[in-house]
Amino acid sequence: MLPGEQTLVLLNGLRMDDVETSHFNLDVPVPLIAIDGLNILHGTGSTLYGSDAIGGVADFLTWKPTASTLRLRSGVGSFGENQQAFLGSYVGSRGTEVLAASRDFSDGFIPDRDYRTEGASSESWISSRIGTTDLLFTGDDRAFGAAGFYGNYNSWERTKGWFASATQQLNSHTEAAVAYRRHSDIFLLDRDQPQGYKNQHLDDGFEGVVRDRREIAKDTTLLSGLEENTDQIRSTNLGDHGRNRGAGYAQAEWRVPGHASISAGLREELFSGERWVSSPMIAGALWLPHSLKLHGAAGYGFRIPTYLDLYYKDPVTIGNPNLKPESAWNFEAGVDWFPRDNLAWTTTVFYSRQRNTIDYTRASAADPWQASNLPGLHFSGVETALDWRLGHSQQLKASWTLLVGAQDALHGLQSEYVFNYPTNNGRIEWTWTSSHGVLIDSRLGVVQRFHADPYPVWDSSVARASGRIRPYLQMTNLSNTGYEEIVGVRMPGRSFVGGVELSLSSKAHEHSAP
């Protein structure tokens, strides 16, 4: 269970997960200034989305303007931080265009943790008799020092990503999309010896989907779709490989407005080698008096190993070509309470029984990490959250998650990822917006990882959210906590980034594209 590997990453509903390694799943090549939001699906999402969605789905959504806009942003900060961003949009009666670009670099908070990121995107919406056509073209270039990420080496890496998609609305309830994604990776185990251990990887992915959402009866919705995915990799270390998958799914939801709902679905997925995987799910909710809602869900999820899991080899990490796909049955149940319009509280208990969980293990610190399947692993826990709106200008959010996992699955081996999970994770966030558009946000999180002491991290930001001139200040790790999210990888201490954004916008066009 490597970080991110059990969460499927999408961009506008299209897959972004990397077949080389999950380390690059969040290499979404769209500049941040062009991202409008993030949809999170908690729990198993494999019925609708397939492999890799064991723990949930994160869908990044690009910005769709309602008015012609120009935004220019520039900032500087700690550790030689320097950032610039541009976004321009045109909204017309028959079409809309958004162009965006960004550049961000830093000297690094310690030696060999510097980075440079550059990216650009173009997205067009064209209205016609057929329906709306959405064309997205984007790419990025990331170079970064990775000291300590792969053992006691001053490693260095450079990745490039390209993504192109075309989405066509066929009618009010059906759309079709095709996408192409490419990701390249150059890796030096020791930056000081560039002619030493060096890997080069290049992977390509093709995707085609047809999705349909329609009311088949009163208060009854049917989601269905067909998908085809092809992935290929050419690598100096992993070799040349490819895999194909095709899938069909259907999920029905029946609602009694204000009283109850129930949904059930099934996905059938066929992989290369004639391997079939079925992913069923069922979920329901029941409204009770006193603004209480009960909810529960059960589902099956799975993921297949990445090519790095299967074939990688260097002095500190060894893959395993005999790895089996991992899978999990996930169950959850909870209660939501809405005592007032401005107050909501939710609590959920969950249980995950996993099979063949993929991790990297070793017998001692002197041995390399070996990709392995862990048998009989299970997790259980509880999460609770409070959302309280204090008038029109303030909001308070608080959450806490307790996670307990099986502690005897390793049989004396050390775990690199699975048993580095947060056993306790608490967070509180306060936001305030003034009548002049000044937004203040302050977040305090306290995390305790498995067999480790708890540590706090405090972040805050101040920005003007309206007007033509919008200064901002981002303050990270104000508590100056020394901590590690991955064993042996030190995280940055206290840092500041400040700058200004110039925003010019015309009035919304009367016939703007969707």
Give the type of residue at 404.
Answer: V
Residue labelled with tokens 């990887």: 201
Query: Does the residue 373 lie in any domain?
Result: yes
Secondary structure class of 114 (helix, strand, coil): coil
Query: Does the residue 2 lie in any domain?
Result: no
Residue labelled with tokens 């066009």: 509
Q: How many domains does the chain have?
A: 1
pLDDT of 512: 33
Secondary structure class of 366 (helix, strand, coil): coil
pLDDT of 474: 97
Other C-beta atoms closer than 10 Å to the C-beta of 147 total 20
Other C-beta atoms closer than 10 Å to the C-beta of 30 total 25
Domain extent at residue 20: 7-505
Alpha carbon distance 356, 1 (integer Å):
10
pLDDT of 4: 55
pLDDT lower than 70: segments of the chain:
1-5, 43-45, 406-410, 507-514
Alpha carbon distance 275, 257 (integer Å):
40
Query: Does the residue 514 lie in any domain?
Result: no
Query: Does the residue 513 lie in any domain?
Result: no
SS3 sequence, 204-265?
Answer: EEEEEEEEEEEEEECCEEEEEEEEEEEEEEEECCCEEEEEEEEEEEEEEEEEECCCEEEEEE
Extract the tokens encoding 271.
Answer: 């992989």
Extract the tokens encoding 12.
Answer: 């506008």
Alpha carbon distance 165, 206 (integer Å):
10
* E-only strand ranges, 80-219: 81-91, 95-106, 115-127, 132-147, 154-169, 174-188, 198-217
Give the CATH number, domain containing residue 472: 2.40.170.20
Q: CA 46, 51, 53 angle in degrees (round to 5)?
A: 50
Alpha-carbon separation of residue 152 from 67, 219, 369, 456 (angstroms):
51, 59, 13, 26
- Would you say 115 and 101 are in contact if contact means Cβ atoms under 8 Å apart? no
Alpha carbon distance 226, 88 (integer Å):
35
Integer Rg of the chain from CA: 24
Residues, the chain, total? Answer: 514
pLDDT digits 0-9 by tens, 321-378: 999 999 999 999 999 999 999 999 999 999 999 999 999 989 888 899 999 998 888 8
Alpha carbon distance 96, 32 (integer Å):
19
pLDDT of 323: 95
What's the gap between Cα 381 and its chain centre?
Answer: 22
Query: Does the residue 511 lie in any domain?
Result: no
* Predicted TM-score (pTM) of this structure: 0.90
Extract the tokens encoding 113.
Answer: 């943790």
- The overall longest dimension of the chain from CA atoms, in Å, is 70
Give the type of residue at 119.
Answer: G
Query: Does the residue 151 lie in any domain?
Result: yes
Query: Does the residue 490 lie in any domain?
Result: yes
Phi/psi of residue 169, each to 5°?
A: -80, 115
